[in-house]
Structure 1
Amino acid sequence: MQANLSALRYLKLAHNEIIVIDDVVFSSLPSLTFLDLSNNPFTCDCSNAGFIQWAKNNKQTQVVNTHQYVCSFPADKRGTLLLDFYIESCWDDVSFIFFISSTCLVLLTLLTCLVGHFKREHLVYTFQLFLAFLYDTRRRKKIDPHQFDAFVSYSTHDEEWIYKEMLPVLEGEQGWRLCLHHRDFQPGKPIIENITDAIYGSRKTICVISRHYLQSEWCSNEIQMASFRLFDEQKDVLILLFLEEIPPHHLSPYYRMRKLLKKRTYLSWPKAAQHPGVFWQNVQRALQTGDALIENTDLLPRPTVC
């Protein structure tokens, strides 16, 4: 290929020890019209498939006595004719592998897109459960005391109520240590880690639920993480506080919320409008509740009014 034999027309290589012929070499012999490769110990496998195809199909070069070339390798092909080797099997294997690979890749891409589109929340939730599991494992090894009495999970649209109603009573009058995301989250840390640290670094989680809360992706993440802690530890660690009346049919898209409400009593701010003092006393009772194991008991005694 490096000899610059562009004018070579006649080439005789009979009675040599040629086993494999690279068909690419013939591209460097554009004038070749006669080729003799008789009595060479050819191998009949896919390494010679290119030469066999070239010998059958090329119109310019006469390959002398090609039909008499005999295979010497491998042992099971010895004595058979070189041109009888089924070269299509070489292409079929490769093409089949490419077909299977490309098909699997396309199906995997489609499946990933479909799952990402329709099951995005489940994927996020699964990822959060995994993070919570890792966090809980590390926390149990360290056995650190809780930094806060409660982490308050709320929508930013309800921040005014948090400042005017909740903080003055729970922190000011009752003296609880509350964790608020706008105030106590560590700057620069990933939001999921901040949420996990806040939930597991507090004795309890207070979810201030409103329509804005249900529509918030981050609030959904927080209550899902808190639900996992409740399920994992089986302790009284979750307080549900409804900031506004929400009809049951509006909760139908929120499966996990409906599941929690079926098992746990919740606090209702609208129903406590005439007796806010009783409402905050019930919140205080909920925060004072210890970490005893829950055995199908409610957070607060029924009924669900305060």
Structure 2
Amino acid sequence: SNNGLSEWLVDVSKMSNLKLLDLSENKFATLSSHARQQFGHAFQLSNLTIDISRNGIACTCENQDFLVWMHENKNYYLHIENYTCSTTDSMFDFKSLESSVHNLQKQCKSFLGWYIGCSVTSAIFVTFIISIIVIKNKWKIRYLIYKSKQRFGFVTPFNRCIPDTMHYEYDAFLSYSGQELMFVLKQVIPRLEVNKNLRLLIRDRDYLPGISKVDSTMKGLQESRRTVCIVSKKYLESKWRDYELNMAKVEGIEDRGSLDYVILILLPEVYNGNHLPKTLMDLIRKERYIEYPMESCAYDDFWDRLIRMIEQ
């Protein structure tokens, strides 16, 4: 006792004649797990009693294993009710050792697993919600990103004049799959451009070389009064046509304030099918479509209706 010891290194596990070990008035804040193991053997071998009073035991969460061990072996400690903690603000009281140990364990119980589980669950939930929002609004997001790039001059430069609501360079931007090119050359151009003097933007004819497909498409949508989509099965299978259709719808909603900007020409192979794709249903419900007739006698009426939809 009274030696300023802070660590116990002597092996007492085989000292069968040792009855009392007086370690009072030292600096023992705890005993290592190895020392506790040796003392446990000594307790059983020689009924050893220890006195570590007036040492300032560390009554902390980090030392709770030692405090629990003391409680389990309290009969081997001399005057244990007089032991004190190293800090005066500790709520630990050796006079009521069992309840003090129990309260310390509750206080120090780790909620790390719960925190990690809740954090991971929350992150997955938030990611799921954000993913739904992004997927649902992906075309609007892509459109706004492009408009921002355009506003700050990051788009491939070309001579352009953003039209006002009264004048557009083209009457209609024509969206079609490559399979319908002959239909465009033999039917659309003669009927609309030659006969009615409408100006169409046709990618195979009017896109400028050296300009990216995205920039050319967005420029065409912005400078056209309407977008006319010739919808065939191949059209619905094409990712680029899907891009044109969805960008046209966002252009109509964001800049024109209406889906009336888009007109669908449904070919017989589409409207005679089992069901129409979901990507077209918003335009179908607003009656922004016209079915290309199967009988030649109805052609003139079809083109007249299409022209009225473009010009209205």
TM-score by length of 1: 0.59
Q: Secondary structure at the match of 1:204?
A: strand
CA RMSD of aligned residues (A): 5.1
Q: 1:243 aligns with which of 267, 272, 275?
A: 267
Equivalent position of 2:231 in the other structure: 209
* In structure 2, distance between residues paired with 1:17 and 1:6: 11
Measure how far apart 1:126 and its partner are.
0.7
- Out of 176, 191, 211, the residue aligned to residue 154 of structure 1 is 176
Whether the aligned pair in 2 keeps the contact of 1:8 and 1:31 (CA below 8 Å) is: no
Taking the aligned partners of 2:208 and 2:78, their CA distance within structure 1 comes to 84
Rounded to whole Å, the distance in 1 between the matches of 2:28 and 2:297 is: 102
1:132 equivalent to 2:155? Answer no
Say if 2:49 is the partner of 1:49. no
Asked if 1:95 is matched to 2:113, the reply is yes
Secondary structure, counterpart of 2:162 in structure 1: coil
Q: Which of residues 210, 234, 239 in structure 1 aligns to 2:257? A: 234
In the alignment, the residues of structure 1 paired with residue 76 and residue 240 of structure 2 have an alpha-carbon distance, to the nearest angstrom, of: 75
Q: How does 1:57-76 map to 2 (within 5 A)?
A: 64=77, 67-68=80-81, 69-71=83-85, 73=87, 75=89
* Equivalent residue runs for 1:148-227 within 5 Å: 149-166=171-188, 174=197, 176-180=199-203, 184=207, 196=218, 198-227=220-249
Q: 1:39 to 1:95 in 2, by over 3 A?
A: farther
Aligned partners of 2:283 and 2:289 also within 8 Å? no
Q: How far, CA to CA, are the matches of 2:78 and 2:277 in structure 1?
A: 79
Look at both structures and tell me which one has the larger radius of gyration over its CA atoms. Answer: 2
Percentage identity across paired residues of the two chains: 22
* 2:125 matches 1:108: yes
Question: What TM-score do the two structures reach when normalised by structure 2?
Answer: 0.58
Q: Distance in 2 between matches of 1:136 and 1:214?
A: 26
- Is the deviation greater in 238-247 or in 71-80? 71-80
**Cα pair 1:169 1:280 within 8 Å, conserved:** yes
Aligned partners of 2:174 and 2:229 also within 8 Å: yes
**Contact 1:251–1:258 under 8 Å retained in 2:** no
Alpha-carbon shift at residue 128 of structure 1 (Å):
1.2
Taking a change above 3 Å as real, the CA distance of residues 36 and 93 of structure 1, as seen in their structure-2 partners, is: farther
Does 1:9 find its partner at 2:33?
no
